[in-house]
Amino acid sequence: MLTEEEERMLEDEEKGECMKIIIALAKVFDAERLVKISSAHISGVSYDNIGDEGLEWLRNLKGKVAVRTTLNPAGMDLERWKEMGIGEEFYRKQMEIIEVFKRLGVELTLTCTPYYIQKPKFGEHLAWAESSAVVYANSVIGARTNRESGISALASAITGRTPYYGLHIKENRAPTVLVKARGDLSIVGYKAGLELPGEIPYFIFDRRVSFDELKLLSASLAASGNIAMFHAEGITPEWRDFERPRESVEIDGEIEKHCEAQLVAIGCPHCSKEELKEILKLIADRKVKRELWIFTSRKVAEESREIIRKLEELGAKVFKDTCMVVSPATEKFECVMVNSGKALEYLPKKRRLEVSFGDLKACIETAVS
C-alpha cells in the first residue's frame, strides 16, 4: 500500500507518529493507498474546544507541515479579546495553542473560509477539517476532501498524505437525492441535514443564488446532517457527470425561531467582503442600538478597512480570528439572533443559548431597532 517514500516517513522522527495516524485511518476505511494532498486546513483551534489535553498533544508534535496549511478560528479575537470579555487564563492558553501551530509552519489564518485566501483547483486532493469548508470545496469548487478531524488534518499536513477513500473517489461523489429548494438557503441546508443526514443532495434552486448563499448552505448541511457534499444544478463542476436521483423532496427555507435577542451575530461562516458591504448598506447610516457582532477573517478585514471603519462608527463590532460558535464570549447573552443555520444548530448545544433566526436583512433591522 505504501510507497518507498511513505515507508521512510514511518521511520522519520518528526513524521512517524503522524504517518501512523494516516495509516490507521486508511485501514479503518479500507483505503487501498494514500494520495498526495495540495493543502490542509486544521480545526480544533479554540482552547474552549481542545482544552489542556489537546494542548499537551500539540506541544509534543515535531517537525513542520509539508503542504500549505491553514487554520480554523480560535476562541477569541487575538487583538480584541478583552473587548469580547475573554479572561486572562483563556487568553494565555489560546495564545500557547497559536504559538504551537506557528512553530509547525501553519499559516495563522484563523478562518473557516480558507478558500477566500487561496482557492483550490478543481480535482485537487485536500485534507480539510472545517465542515463548512469541506462542503464548499467539494460542491462549489470541485476539489476532493473528506470531512477530516483536527488531528487527521494535522497529520495529513505534516505527511502531505491522506487515505484514498470516500469523496476522493469519483464514483463516491454521486448525488443520492433530488432536492427542490426555495427560500433562505441557510434554512434549506439546516432542514435538509435533519431530513437527509449523510446523503449527497442534488439541489435545484428556484432562483439564481450567490456564492455567499452557497457558503451558508454548505455550513448548515454539515452542521445538522454531517453532509460533506452536494450537487447544485448548473453550479457544481461535476453536476452533469451523474444521473439525477429519482428520489425527490421539496424543502422550503422558512423557520420560526424567535426570542428577545441581546446580541445579533453575523459571520458563521466568516463574512466575505461582499457581505460586509451589504451589511453597511442595510444599516443605511442608522445607529446600531443593540450588540451587533460581525465576524470575518484577517484577510477580508485587511481588504475591507474602510467598510469596517464605517460599520464600527455606526456601533457594530467587527471581530477577526473567531466566531460566535467557537468563542465562549457569547455565553454571557441569553438570546442571540443569527442568519446562520450552522449557528442555529450549534449555539444551543455548545453555548446553551436561545437562538432567534432571521435573514441578513431581518438581523440588521433587529440590531438597529
Q: Residue 32 burial (CB < 10 Å; 0-12/13-18/19+)?
A: exposed
Looking at residue 62, its pLDDT comes to: 87
Q: What is the mean pLDDT of residues 117-132?
A: 97
Residue 285 has pLDDT above 90, yes or no: no
Q: For residue 269, is the peptide bond before it cis, meaning its omega torsion is within 30 degrees of 0?
A: yes
Q: What is the mean pLDDT of residues 34-40?
A: 98
Q: What is the mean pLDDT of residues 292-296?
A: 98
Residue 220 has pLDDT above 90, yes or no: yes
- Is the domain of 127 the same as that of 153? yes
- Is the domain of 180 the same as that of 312? no
Q: Is residue 205 part of a domain?
A: yes
- Is the domain of 276 the same as that of 318? yes
Q: Is residue 258 part of a domain?
A: no
Q: Is residue 112 part of a domain?
A: yes
Residue 284 sits in a domain of what CATH number? 3.30.499.10
Domain that holds residue 239: 174-253
- Is the domain of 147 the same as that of 50? yes
Residues 136, 115: contact at Cβ < 8 Å? yes
- Is the domain of 311 the same as that of 334? yes
pLDDT tens digits for range 7-32: 999 999 999 999 999 999 999 999 99
Q: Is residue 194 part of a domain?
A: yes
Q: Is residue 90 part of a domain?
A: yes
Q: How far apart are CA 53 and CA 59, in angstroms?
A: 10
Looking at residue 45, its pLDDT comes to: 97
What does 317-353 look like in DSSP terms, one character per residue? EEEES--TTT-GGGGG-SEEEES-HHHHHHIIIII--
pLDDT tens digits for range 57-102: 999 998 899 999 999 999 999 999 999 999 999 999 999 999 999 9
Which domain-ending residue is among 253, 276, 301?
A: 253
pLDDT tens digits for range 136-166: 999 999 999 999 999 999 999 999 999 999 9
pLDDT tens digits for range 163-183: 999 999 999 999 999 999 999
- Is the domain of 236 the same as that of 89? no
Residue 188 sits in a domain of what CATH number? 3.40.50
- Is the domain of 271 the same as that of 232? no
What Cα–Cα distance (Å) separates residue 305 from each residue in 230, 262, 311? 34, 26, 10
Which domain-ending residue is among 170, 185, 209?
A: 170
Q: Is residue 37 part of a domain?
A: yes
Residue 197 has pLDDT above 90, yes or no: yes
In 3D, which of 128, 346, 136, 324 has the Cα closest to residue 227?
136
Which domain-ending residue is among 208, 233, 253?
A: 253
pLDDT band at 287 (very low <50, low <70, confident <90, very high): very high
- Is the domain of 53 the same as that of 131? yes
The mean of the pLDDT values for the chain is 97
- Is the domain of 234 the same as that of 347? no
> What percentage of the chain reaches a pLDDT higher than 90?
98
- Is the domain of 226 the same as that of 295? no
- Is the domain of 60 the same as that of 118? yes
Q: The C-alpha cell of 331 is what?
A: 455565553
Residue 264 has pLDDT above 80, yes or no: yes
Number of domains in the chain: 3
- Residues paired with 265 in a beta bridge: 293, 338
Q: Is residue 216 part of a domain?
A: yes
Looking at residue 262, its pLDDT comes to: 97
pLDDT band at 1 (very low <50, low <70, confident <90, very high): confident
Q: Is residue 239 part of a domain?
A: yes
- Is the domain of 101 the same as that of 160? yes
